């Protein structure tokens, strides 16, 4: 779970729902 350290703490909960790739997409939509 190294990527958890790379992403902000806010997306830790979002990460549990999907994988690293899915997380990035969710983060992109969240920021947008």
CA 19, CA 7: separation in Å to the nearest integer? Answer: 13
| Residue tagged 């690293």 (tokens) | 20
The reported pLDDT for the residue numbered 19 is: 56
The reported pLDDT for the residue numbered 7 is: 60
The pLDDT tens digits for 3-25 are 555 666 666 666 565 555 666 66
Tokens coding 31: 């920021």
């Amino acid at each position: 779970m190294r990527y958890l350290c790379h992403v902000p703490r806010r997306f830790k909960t979002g990460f549990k729902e999907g994988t690293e790739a899915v997380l990035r997409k969710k983060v992109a939509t969240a920021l947008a």
